[in-house]
Structure 1
Amino acid sequence: MPEASVMLRRLERLRQHQKDGRRAPHKPLLLLLALGRFARYGTSALPWSEAESLLGDLLAEYGPASRTSRRQGAAYPFTRLRSDGIWVLDRDVPMDLVRPLVEERVVGSLVPALERAFRDDPGLVKSVARTLVESHFPDTVAADVLVAVGLDPDEVRHSGEVIPEPDGDARRRDPKWPSAVLRAWDCQCAFCGFDGQLGNWPVGIEAAHVRWFKHGGPDDLDNGLALCVLHHKLFDRGALGLTKDLRIQVSASFTTRTEAGRILYRLHGRPLRPRPGTAVPAAQHVAWHQSEVFRGVALQT
């Protein structure tokens, strides 16, 4: 249908909105929140009185570190998504300003053409959500985002692909990169040393990008670490990071109440110990992770 074709083109532009590798998940998170509401209620209508906390929390949890208040951070995509032809407000208010949103009790929603397309094809909501979440977040984080916006990760991530990968100069993952990273780090977690195997194969060890592939990170050995499943997840969520001199950082935002969890604190300040000849994470990739992923400040030592 024409509406669906227009929607796909606009989503294509939306998912490509990145600058110099900087993360810009504000509009995608708002759109995912709207999709979650549509899936639950049959309408994407989202009053600002709810969006300022819901979207603000999502940005604080899954966006890059920012000095902007949660309320102001939510106002940016809530007002600016209109320019993409996907989102409408029921009041004509200025861009970025919070006060008019409050005083006018503004309600935002997906454009009617999108809602009609979703009603005609219920599976389209899940497919669009999959495209958005996979375009802006690594697999270790994508499921958490979907749960946070009220969508079922299993249903969404097993839905059909909506937007085809563009032709031409599109980046393709190197299928040999994961195994090369594991070999470089002796199939051991670079943080804790876990080296489980099942038969002759590593189990619970994954190749992790320091700078996310979806944000310009290359499939190079100096952009990779072998990490156990737990520490891969925490690294991609920003609970763990690296300093310039390649020491492990634990975010002060991370908290735990059990002895098992407190083991993570002991990683703080520990240097990476690669085997001789292994390419360590390059400074530019470490700096990107520190700026775009690591949460807040590190623990005090």
Structure 2
Amino acid sequence: MADDQDAALLARLASLRQHQQGGRRSPHKPLLVLLALGQLATAGSSELPWSQAQARLSDLIAEFGPLTRTSRAQSAAYPFTRLRSDGIWVLDQDVPMDAVRPLSTHHVVGRFEDSLEAALRHDPTLVQSAARAMVESHFPPTVAPDVLTAVGLDPNLVLHAADVVPDPSGNAERRRDPRWRTAVLQAWDRQCAFCGFDGQFLGASVGLEAAHVRWFAFDGPDSLDNALALCVLHHKLFDLGALGLDASARVLVSAAFTTRTDAGQALYDLHGRALRPRPGTPLPATEHLTRHQREVFKGQPLIA
């Protein structure tokens, strides 16, 4: 019975209604939930005064969300007021949706709804399971630990939490193909598709990873036309949106990326470089490239 109750509780958190603008992902609500889970884990309560949430949530959205023209305060006000409609979040005062000024003027405080708060307090392991389900549903593995650290949760504890609830869509949990990494590295001649790094240690590739172009968390398939072999650095930058690919599979470097050292400036040299896969290896499919350009790549590319 307890397992059923736990699964039902986690399903409530997982079934957030996601706002999308122009078909782009919008992780604003998940980031607020994760921030509240971190607050609960560290302070014993999910209470977040707007005066604190505005700065912390806007920072999270700027770092881990898509680029937006909305002001930082407005970006934070959207989830802070709209999460109420999902039945898991309450404010101590009734304020209009999306309105920033009343949140500041009335010193509004938000927190989890009473029954959810009580259940999470009663069983701290549920906080870890909820955070894992949330972060794995909305972010790739390269970024998930950074998100958890930013909200005050220990990635080592959270990402090893026991599975309690299936995929948030209600379908059977999708599992990664254990053979996929080997197939991807082999297809790209065990070298980074961007920079050509091909380090080996004791006969095994080191510092190379199989990357999804369209994230696995967003129904990206374990197929070679959705795959790149990337070094650890470029995989991270690709998933954060500092690197991308155009429709011709040429590398894009975001103009938002800056660096001062020679090592960092080597990234600029990648801009415009065409991918050269091994014969027989497909380039990423157009639909996956388009999805990455729309939902992950941030800002405008460098001027060639």
- Residue aligned with 2:110, SS: strand
Deviations 1:127-173 (A, max 9, x none): 21111111111110001101111111112112222323477565443
Aligned counterparts, 1:103-252, within 5 A: 103-165=105-167, 171-252=174-255
Determine if the alignment matches structure 1 residue 285 to structure 2 residue 285. Answer: no
For residue 284 of structure 1, report the CA deviation from its aligned partner: 1.6
| Paired position in structure 2 for 1:7 | 9
Once the two structures are superposed, what CA deviation does each residue of 1:166-218 show, in whole Å capped at 9, x if it has no partner? 77565443333222211111111000111122334322111101110111212
Conserved in 2, the CA contact under 8 Å of 1:191 and 1:267?
Answer: yes
Q: CA 1:212–1:21 in structure 2 vs 1: closer, same or farther (change >3 Å)?
A: farther
- Could you say which residue in structure 2 is the equivalent of 1:37? 39
Give distance in 2, aligned partners of 1:248 and 1:131: 32
Q: How much is the aligned-residue C-alpha RMSD, in angstroms?
A: 2.1
Q: How many residues matched?
A: 300
Kindly indicate whether the alpha-carbon contact (under 8 Å) linking 1:146 and 1:153 is maintained by their aligned counterparts in 2.
Answer: yes
Q: 1:152, 1:50 → 2: CA distance?
A: 21
List alignment gaps of at least 5 residues for structure 1. none
Helix, strand or coil at the partner of 2:142 = helix
The 10-residue stretch of structure 1 (52-61 or 5-14) with the greater mean CA deviation from structure 2: 5-14
Correspondence list, 1:33-112, <5 A = 33-112=35-114
How far does the alpha carbon of each residue in 1:2-30 deviate from its partner, in whole angstroms, 9 at most, with x for none?
Answer: 9745422312312x848797422111100
Amino acid at match of 1:192: C
Tell me, in whole angstroms, the C-alpha distance in 1 between the residues paired with 2:104 and 2:219.
38
**Normalization by structure 1: what TM-score?**
0.92
Q: 1:18 to 1:174 in 2, by over 3 A?
A: farther
1:207-244 CA distances to partner (integer Å, 9 max, x unpaired)? 10111011121222111101011111111111111112
Q: Which moved more, 1:59-68 or 1:169-178?
A: 169-178
Q: 2:252, 2:271 within 8 Å by CA — same for their partners in 1?
A: yes
Q: Which amino acid aligns with 2:300?
A: V
SS at match of 1:88: strand
- Whole-Å separation in 1 of the counterparts to 2:223 and 2:11: 31
Asked whether the equivalents of residues 242 and 286 of structure 1 are also in contact (C-alpha less than 8 Å), the reply is: yes
Alignment deviations for residues 23-77 of structure 1 (CA, whole Å, 9 cap, x no partner) = 2211110011111111111111111122222111111110112222221111111
Match of 1:180, as an amino acid?
A: A
Name the stretch that deviates more: 274-283 or 225-234. 274-283
Report if the CA contact (8 A) 1:196-1:204 is conserved. yes
Q: What pairs with 1:253-264 in structure 2 (closer than 5 Å)?
A: 253-264=256-267
Identity of aligned residues (%): 63
- In 1, Cα distance between equivalents of 2:38 and 2:101: 26
Taking the aligned partners of 1:176 and 1:156, their CA distance within structure 2 comes to 25
**Hey, what's the Cα distance between the residues in 2 that align with 1:152 and 1:101?**
30
Deviations 1:64-106 (CA, angstroms, capped at 9, x unpaired): 1222222111111111111111110001112122222222221
Q: Which amino acid aligns with 2:227?
A: G
Secondary structure of the structure 2 residue equivalent to 1:206: strand
With 53-62 and 155-164 compared, the bigger mean Cα shift is at 155-164
CA distance in 2, matches of 1:18, 1:282: 26
